[in-house]
Amino acid sequence: MLGIFIGLILLMVLAYRGWSIIWIAPICAGVVALTGGLDLLDAYTDTYMGGFVNFAKSWFPVFMLGAIFGKLMEYTGMAKSIASGIIRVLGAKRAIMGVALSCAVLAYGGVSVFVVVFAVYPLALDMFRQANLPRRLMPATLAFGTLTFAMTALPGTPQIQNLIPTDYYNTTAAAAPIMGLVAAAFMAVTGYVYLKWRENKMRANEEVFTEPKEKEEDNRVFGDPPPIYLAVLPLLTVIIALNIVQLDIIVSLLLGIILNLLISITKVKMFVKAMNEGASGSVLAIINTSAAVGFGTVVQSVPGFARLSEALLSAPGSPLISQAIAANVLAGATGSASGGLGIALEALGDTYYQIAQSVGPSPEAFHRVASLASGGLDSLPHNGAILTLLIVTGMTHKQSYKDIAVVSVIIPILSVIPAIMLATFGIY
């Protein structure tokens, strides 16, 4: 067990220092293998790569199509049109609500969280300028709308963090809707109240908007954005196909992509560029996540893991609590919600599914808690989305991370509590 913790800590520290998980994951897995008495070469070529390849085989189509869909929404101007419409209705005085809602709509529609940041940032900048809000609150506002309730809690969201549990619990993306809605409401209300409190405090301290040092022209959109009533159709198509018609996520994303292409046929010249960028970006995303899952596969194979599993499974209270702890810790160690969730469920998913089948709560409850828990400690400073947020907005960890941590780490962790309470009373 000591080797497992050493490997996890090493992985987290190196990732925090900016080292790529693609090559540090097998090194940290080697530490776990050596301290666990495994043959180092076999642990890498067989165990590690087995977990890596199996995850990539199962999820690469979803990663690729999701990234292509997001890039098309970005390049055709549809994402910008939706965000602009929401912000125009709410007005500058509600800048925080407008920016957060724009992010949430795009995230719930299946647009990659990384793409959402790039799509909404120019509009957020204008809203914060009109509202005379300090820019250091902008990263937390973007994180609040993108990395919280829309990513893990809202039933039916096509984000990968909500789809991974379906493979282990034989559930759908809309599993445990009541638990999800309550957790989403908790995150939405408490996060917004916190950000408004911070806004008022900054105004009291006479903090104001300052222009970024470099103004970069947005060249990602070709031509004028389409009207909002057309821009929302691909998003609605993905959501309806996945949750109401209950088509496979691959088919749902394909339908959204096809409709996007048809609506934007006048911009046919940029289709190849957008799809190339989406496909290329998805390769890095799936490799990062698969590397984390490969590490988890090695952890699962050492003798000490049986004792660690026993400790988690024997935690007092509902098994949902131990699952939430496992998903949170591993998401924090890898700096990835999907990577940590993949490790946790690859290692313990079968056991939890058997518990759900025999004594309960239902597999749907396990699905929702797993998804919620993955969105807590994943947002530690070394998380890729957090780093992207800070780079795009021109802020530093020192300036903005405290607020990011409250809305995307502390509040999401707390949101698991009401969800588990509902599950104990059989309310899913």
DSSP for 308-338? HHHHHHTSSS-HHHHHHHHHHHHHHHHT-HH
State pLDDT tens for residues 386-422. 877 887 788 888 889 899 999 999 999 999 999 999 9
Q: What is d(CA 390, CA 185) in angstroms, rounded to the nearest whole number?
A: 26
| Tokens 């990062």 belong to residue | 288
State pLDDT tens for residues 145-190. 999 999 999 999 989 899 999 999 999 999 999 999 999 999 999 9
Phi/psi of residue 331, each to 5°?
-65, -40
Closest CA to 344 of 317, 376, 389, 316: 376
Buried b (16+ CB within 10 A) or exposed e, 373-391: bbbbbbbbebbbbbebbbe
- Are 337 and 375 a contacting pair, CB within 8 Å? yes
- Are 136 and 400 a contacting pair, CB within 8 Å? yes
pLDDT of 81: 84
Q: What is the dihedral of CA 299, 303, 304, 307, to 10 degrees?
A: 110
Phi/psi of residue 220, each to 5°?
-80, -20
DSSP state of 137: G
Q: What is d(CA 324, CA 312) in angstroms, rounded to the nearest whole number?
A: 10
Other CB atoms within 10 A of residue 265 CB: 8
Count of helices and strands (H, E) across the chain:
20, 0
Closest CA to 325 of 416, 387, 397, 253: 416
pLDDT of 56: 87
- Are 76 and 257 a contacting pair, CB within 8 Å? no
pLDDT of 16: 64
What pTM value is reported for the model?
0.76
Q: Where are the alpha helices (DSSP H) in 36-169?
A: 40-42, 49-75, 78-90, 95-108, 113-131, 138-146, 160-169
pLDDT of 257: 92
Q: Which helix (H) or strand (E) holds 354?
A: helix 337-358
Closest CA to 140 of 106, 100, 107, 80: 100
pLDDT of 94: 87
Q: What is d(CA 317, CA 85) in angstroms, rounded to the nearest whole number?
A: 46
Closest CA to 133 of 209, 28, 39, 37: 209
pLDDT of 155: 92
DSSP state of 226: P
Spell out the per-residue pLDDT of the chain, length 428, in tens. 788 889 888 887 787 676 888 898 899 999 999 998 899 999 999 999 998 998 888 888 888 888 888 788 878 888 878 877 887 888 767 889 989 998 898 888 877 777 788 777 867 887 888 788 999 999 999 999 999 999 999 999 989 899 999 999 999 999 999 999 999 999 999 999 999 999 999 999 999 988 887 544 444 556 778 998 998 898 888 888 877 888 888 898 899 999 999 999 988 888 998 899 888 888 887 887 788 788 878 887 888 877 776 776 677 778 999 899 988 888 876 667 887 898 889 888 999 999 999 988 999 999 999 999 999 988 887 677 887 788 778 888 888 989 999 999 999 999 999 999 999 999 99
- Are 152 and 175 a contacting pair, CB within 8 Å? no
